[in-house]
Amino acid sequence: MLEHINGILSGLLVPTVLILAGLFYAFRLRCFHLTRPRAVLRGLRSDGTSGGISSGKAVTLALAGTLGVGNIVGVSSAIYMGGFGAVFWMWISALVAMLLKYAEIVLAMRHRRADGDGKHLGSAMYYITDFFSSLGFRRLGRAVATVFAAVFLLNALTMGSMLQANAISGALDGVMGISPAVSGATLCLFTLFCIKKGTGGIIKATNFLVPLMSAGFIVISAAVIARNFSALDDAFRLIFSSAFCFDAALGGVGGFAFMRAVRYGVMRGLVSNEAGCGTAPTAHALASCQSPARQGMWGIFEVFADTILLCTLTALCVILEYGAALEHGGNYMMMTVSAYASALGNSASVFICVAVLCFGIATVICWAHYGSVCVSFLCGSVTAKKIFVFIYSLCVLGGALVSSELAWQLSDFAMGIMTLINLSVIVFMWREVKEETELYLKSK
């Protein structure tokens, strides 16, 4: 049943709505992220605002929520399930989604609140509520935002905890022979420790882990590509030729393969960069930056770094060493590990294992923050937050011990519902986004 629903959601509705909404914003904002790259780069400089957390720290928190399973396991999953053409559709989803992530961050900054201590607090739930309230449908807005928060919470318990823990335990077991029970229990306790430290502790951890492991992952991926440089043209040729496999001789088979490439390319790209689904605004709303548009530029950078750069590097390495990767077909973690190890030896396996561990931990603790924001919106009681922390930690432990198939299905479902709700709202709020964009582009 759930698989059938996901087939409709991720096979038709989400890719269609995502691309249409992205094209709509590209038209409304005149593709400024492509035509005026200097303006985007200018937005990545510090604005000198004091208090709160910096824009850079906010984006490392947001990147912690996106870097992880999507970049390492999700890419192998997309290629294995959707073919080489899925990589092309990951690129397309990223290009059209850049402005969507920009838009949702701008709206989150405009509609954020202050908590009891005067600190910034924001998420998609707040601008969803304000949008319906501005139309005179306050109760409806609260209901829609509540549904969004509920599936957001479900995604935190699946993609944010179970899938990350499953990838970490799979890597440690496959490469180092560490029992999933041991790795799951250790990760569970570490998660509890980080959550206890609060938002400040979470930000410090992600600010350290994300830049370090991203740089290391880029270097080792470049080494794999350099070793197979002569086959790089063939890899790109496979990606583009498989992306549009409507072969008259194959008929329906070609059409089916095409749809699988679109579905898994777009959905795994969405799992990776999370553009348009309304998760990243929860991190960016913490920034001290006073210009919503300036903070939104970090969203454009985030999608580029996540999907265009890191996911592409992983995809090329897997394709270039696809023979070795296929030996573990279906075990997406070991597919990626085997591809790197085939090119660089067993030392690469250890590095990928460490990279998965660091990216996964960063994602787990980031999504703990996301989940707590959802709980605060839904009820806000201290008891509810304690219950959430307990359940979230159990999901981390359970994710390390059980198959990830159900977690992937639940995550795809939650991500699909979140994306449809979020895009439906931000498309109607385009005037606010355009106003902030024009104000920023006119500034010196």
What is the tens place of the pLDDT at every residue in 362-392? 888 888 888 989 998 998 778 888 889 889 9
Between residues 132 and 311, the one the model is more confident about: 132
Question: Which residues touch 38 (CB under 8 Å, ≥6 apart)?
Answer: none
Per-domain boundaries in the chain? 2-39+58-433
Band the pLDDT of 243: cuts 50, 70, 90: confident
> Where is mean pLDDT largest: 238-247, 270-279, 342-351, 403-412?
342-351
Rounded to whole angstroms, the Cα distance separating 367 from 199 reads 11
Q: What is the pLDDT of residues 190-235, one digit of tens each?
A: 888 877 766 666 667 667 777 777 888 888 999 999 999 999 999 9
Is pLDDT larger for residue 410 or for residue 64?
A: 410
3-class SS at 120? strand
- pLDDT for 67 equals 65
Contact 375, 388 (CB under 8 A): yes
- The residue among 251, 292, 377, 309 whose CA lies nearest residue 105 is 292
Token pair in block for residue 109: 């900054």
Q: What are 343's two structure tokens?
A: 């090119």
Token readout for 139 is 């109760």
* Statement: residue 4 has pLDDT above 90: no
Identify the band that residue 52 occupies on the pLDDT scale cut at 50, 70 and 90: low
Spatial separation of the C-alpha atoms in residues 184 and 171, rounded to whole Å: 12
CA dist., res. 263 & res. 258, Å (int):
9
H or E segment at 428? helix 405-428
Q: Three-class SS of residue 249?
A: coil
Residue 120 has pLDDT above 60, yes or no: yes
Residue among 20, 7, 70, 89 nearest 276 (CA)? 20
pLDDT band with cut points at 50, 70 and 90 for residue 46: low
Per-residue confidence (pLDDT) for residue 68, from 0 to 100? 62
Residue 249 has pLDDT above 60, yes or no: no
Instruction: Look over the chain and give the mean of its residue pLDDT values, rounded to a whole number.
Output: 81
Which whole number is the average pLDDT over 398-424? Answer: 84
Alpha-carbon gap, residue 232 to 7, rounded angstroms = 33
The whole-angstrom separation of Cα 316 and Cα 236 is 8
Residue 248: is its pLDDT beyond 60?
A: no
CA distances from 58 to 200, 372, 415, 435, 440 (A): 11, 17, 22, 23, 20
Q: Which of 30-44, 138-152, 174-188, 374-388 has the highest mean pLDDT?
A: 138-152
Cα–Cα distances (Å) from 389 to 63, 158, 413, 428, in that order, read 22, 14, 23, 35
- Looking at CATH, the fold of the domain delimited by 2-39+58-433 is given as Amino acid/polyamine transporter I (1.20.1740)
Is residue 102's pLDDT more than 70?
yes
* Nearby residues of 182 by Cβ (< 8 Å), 6 or more positions away: none
Residue 415 gets the label, from left (phi > 0), alpha (psi -120 to 50) or beta, of alpha
Residue type, 100: L
164-180 pLDDT, tens per residue?
888 888 778 877 888 88
What whole-number distance in Å separates Cα of residue 28 and Cα of residue 106?
A: 15
Confidence tier at 255 by pLDDT (50, 70, 90): very low
* 228 contacts 320 by C-beta, under 8 angstroms: yes
**Tokens found for residue 188:** 């569970």
What's the predicted TM-score (pTM) here? 0.84
At residue 254, the pLDDT reads: 37
Q: Nearest to residue 98, comparing CAs of 10, 189, 21?
A: 21
Question: What 3-state DSSP class applies to 287?
Answer: strand
